[in-house]
Amino acid sequence: EAQVTQNPRYLITVTGKKLTVTCSQNMNHEYMSWYRQDPGLGLRQIYYSMNVEVTDKGDVPEGYKVSRKEKRNFPLILESPSPNQTSLYFCASSRVREFSTSGSYNEQFFGPGTRLTVL
């Protein structure tokens, strides 16, 4: 089954304790992204990756790191979590689809989400 998996699904931690949220996809997609979702703000892109060893900042990268050593995995690292990083996190992987007329677009598939609470 084609899917994006994230672990853990739920995590309660304390300020300053380093953590990693894993993301893995089995669809051989080149593109992967991390988002956070907060009430009233919608999903905001944290980091994205266009391929192995190629990553770039999204709109809210402060306090986060990522790595892309293998095509299927894209972990999100919080070196020193703070309470303002309490959020719902989604990983996504995407493939290029062609329009029937012209051009192409980037279709995203999301993981089930990780609910993180930082005390």
Partner 1 sequence: RKEVEQDPGPFNVPEGATVAFNCTYSNSASQSFFWYRQDCRKEPKLLMSVYSSGNEDGRFTAQLNRASQYISLLIRDSKLSDSATYLCVVNFNFNKFYFGSGTKLNVKP
Binding site for partner 1 (CB under 8 A): 31, 33, 35, 37, 40-45, 48, 50, 56, 58-59, 88, 90, 97, 99-101, 103, 105-113
Sign of CA pseudo-dihedral 112, 75, 7, 58:
negative
Minimum distance of partner 1 from residue 1's CB (angstroms): 15
Q: Are 112 and 6 in contact (CB under 8 A)?
A: yes
Minimum distance of partner 1 from residue 14's CB (angstroms): 24
Q: Please report which helix (H) or strand (E) contains residue 99, including its range.
A: none
Closest CB to partner 1 among residues 96, 119 = 96
Minimum distance of partner 1 from residue 100's CB (angstroms): 8
Residue (of 21, 7, 14) closest to 78 by Cα position: 21
Closest CB to partner 1 among residues 18, 57 = 57
CA distances from residue 64 to 27, 105, 117 in whole angstroms, order as listed: 25, 27, 15
Closest CB to partner 1 among residues 44, 72 = 44
